[in-house]
Amino acid sequence: MGSNQSSLSDQHVFQSGQGQIGFNLTNSLQQSPESDATRQRLASLEVQKRVTDELHRLQDKEDQMSKITDEKLAKESIEDSQIGRNSVAQSISTLSQKLRNQSSSVDQSEVVKRAETAVVRCLRLNDRRPLDCWREVEEFKREVIRLENAFVSKVVGGV
C-alpha cells in the first residue's frame, strides 16, 4: 500500500528560485577543499584580527586623551607654582622691609650678657677641665633662645 510513496529518489528538485541558490551553496560547500574546522579557524582569526584592531584603536585614543590630560595638569601646576612663588616672594620682601626698618644693631639683654660672662669666667677658671662649665653653658643657651624667640615674634608678629 504505501510502498511507492516511501521510495527515495536520487535527485532533489526545488521548485522556487530560492531553493536553487541553497542547492548551489550546498554543492559549493561540499565540493570546497576547506573543512568546517578550517572555515571556523579562519572566521575565528578574522574575529581576533578585528578585536585586536579595535583594541589598538582604543589604546591609541586612550594614549591621546592621557597626553592631553597630562599637558593640562602640567600647565596648571606651572601656574600654581607661579602663584606660590609670587606670594612667597612678596612675603620675603615684606619681612626684608621690616628688618631694614628695625635698628641695625641687636640689643643684647642684660641677662644674656651676664650668662656670657659667667661662661667665660668658668672656662678661664677651669681651663684644664672645660666640661665642668656645662651649667653655665646651658644657662647661656636658654637665654639666647629666649632672646631669639623675642626677636622673631617682634619681627614676624605683625605679618
Q: Are residues 66 and 116 in the same domain?
A: no
Q: Are residues 91 and 112 in the same domain?
A: no
pLDDT of residue 105: 47
pLDDT of residue 19: 52
**Using an 8 Å Cβ cutoff, are 139 and 115 in contact?**
yes
Give the mean model confidence (pLDDT) for residues 5-18: 52
Residue at 25 is within a domain:
no
Residue at 17 is within a domain:
no
Q: Are residues 119 and 88 in the same domain?
A: no
pLDDT of residue 57: 93
Vertex 66: Cα angle to 62 and 67 (nearest 5): 120
Residue at 134 is within a domain:
yes
Residue at 122 is within a domain:
yes
The range of the structural domain enclosing residue 68 comes to: 35-97
- Write out 113-150 in H/E/C secondary structure: HHHHHHHHHHHHHCCCCHHHHHHHHHHHHHHHHHHHHH
Please give the mean pLDDT across all residues of the chain: 78
How far is Cα 91 from Cα 85, in angstroms, rounded to an integer?
10
DSSP state of 33: S
DSSP state of 4: T
Q: Are residues 115 and 75 in the same domain?
A: no
> Domain total for the chain?
2
pLDDT of residue 136: 92
Q: Are residues 88 and 48 in the same domain?
A: yes
Q: Are residues 120 and 158 in the same domain?
A: yes
Half-sphere exposure of 132 (CA within 13 A, CB side): 9
Give the mean model confidence (pLDDT) for residues 32-57: 84
